[in-house]
A = this chain, B = another copy of it.
Amino acid sequence: MKHIAILGYGVVGGGITGVLDGNREAIRAAVGDDVNVKYILDLRDFPDSPYGDRVVRDASVIMNDPEVCLVAETMGGAHPAFELSMDALRAGKHVVTSNKEVVATFGDKLLACAAQNGVSYLFEASVGGGIPVIRPFLTSLAGERVSAVRGILNGTTNFILTKMKTEMRPFADVLREAQELGYSEKDPTADIDGIDAKRKIMILGALATGILADESEVYAETISKISPLDMDAAERAGAVIKLVATAEIEDGGVAFFVCPQMVKKTDLLASVDDVYNAVSVTCRVTGDVLFYGRGAGRWPTAGAVVADVVAALSGAASAERAPVFVKRSGTVKDFRDVSFSYYVRLSGVSAMDASEEFERYFDRVSVLDGSPAGKTELICSEATGRELEKLLSGRADVESVIRMG
């Protein structure tokens, strides 16, 4: 019998006991032993749960119990998740987590502490919910050189953008629906402004490069400025607007960013709709590999946590190459130095005048057909953010600027 503890018995934590109960036989076969939840750390009581008698309020009970060989941290937030995870690792317990904030912020320290203590720190569930992406990255793509990671990593914004497109409704309206459906938090900022996706691309970027960026080094742009006019323009450009998180890896440096982009319909990411997530990894030998699935939700996320529990308790994880994350300031490229093509919508200027003017700054400028009355739409390539800023500064006729993916 292997004993584990769960820190935080919320949506995901509660899902873990559900998965452990529902798939007991398959899990026993994979681990080679029964898995027992000995403790649950939570401030609340759960009198109706069969696990109600496992609840403790004092973390030291868990840390001091040598029978507990693994801790599943599903508390969310950086603190006290970080401190408790460090305590568990120092006590020689494996730690598995679904908490992207703690991995993106303290992943370097947590992985180092795990290595020092000869245990595993696993975080498959922190990115892409139920999609197996972290482990394939570390195992199947071990020995590969990754040149880019691109992903649709936030289900809430993808749901909103999909609805806006198919029903041509404004952002605020669809956001309200997402909140009513429970897809979005009451305070939707972390989703909408790309903060959640930013943490996830920091984790994937660190897996690909070894460099754990500082949050301030990663650009994130909101989807709240996207309008039905933009959606319509994307359609005419043969594209779909998606919130894309990117890690670009070149010999010269790495760049991490999250922003709404017009993604060509021939790009598989354009077909990822609703709450689904996808991660595309560009490898030197293998080419493009894409992982797709449900990016959030109780069961997929809990399933991914349990997969990590199985990997840790079966010994599989300890045979895998553990990642090493390093914070090294100055290695991440400024987002304003990354080049893009852009969709630009202007009002009150003719297509001829606008394109003539923009051709002075861009190598290629084409006019998008079918613009609404009084609007001119251009596709311009290519310029860095700095160049674009200069060009657009002080212009009152610019309605919308969206990067092309």
Residues from chain B with Cβ under 8 Å of A135 in the complex? 136, 139-140
Instruction: Choose one: B30, B284, B302; the contact of A142 (CB below 8 Å).
Output: B30
Could you tell me which residues of chain A, from 137 to 192, have a CB within 8 Å of some CB in chain B?
Answer: 139-145
- Does A356 touch B at the CB level, under 8 Å? no
Contact B289 A304 (CB under 8 A): no
Residues from chain B with Cβ under 8 Å of A314 in the complex? 142, 319-321
Contact A307 B130 (CB under 8 A): no
- Does A271 touch B at the CB level, under 8 Å? yes
Which residue on chain B has the smallest CB distance to residue A134?
Answer: B140
Contact A293 B286 (CB under 8 A): yes
Contact A285 B303 (CB under 8 A): yes
Which residue on chain B has the smallest CB distance to residue A270?
Answer: B271
Q: How far is the CB of A312 from chain B (nearest CB, A)?
A: 11
CA distance A142 to B23 in the complex (A): 10
Contact B268 A286 (CB under 8 A): no
Could you tell me which residues of chain A, from 265 to 302, have a CB within 8 Å of some CB in chain B?
Answer: 266, 268, 271-273, 283-294, 297, 299-300, 302
Q: How far is the CB of A127 from chain B (nearest CB, A)?
A: 12
Residues from chain B with Cβ under 8 Å of A30 in the complex? 142-143, 321
Contact B315 A132 (CB under 8 A): no
Interface residue tally on A, bucketed by range: 35 or more
Q: Chain A: residues with CB nearer than 8 A to chain B?
A: 19, 22-23, 26-27, 29-30, 124, 130-132, 135-136, 139-145, 266, 268, 271-273, 283-294, 297, 299-300, 302-304, 306-307, 310-311, 314-321
Which residue on chain B has the smallest CB distance to residue A124?
Answer: B140
Contact A293 B290 (CB under 8 A): yes
Q: Can you sample 13 A-B contacts with CB below 8 Å?
A: A23-B145, A23-B285, A26-B145, A130-B283, A130-B285, A130-B289, A131-B289, A135-B140, A268-B292, A285-B299, A286-B294, A287-B299, A291-B291
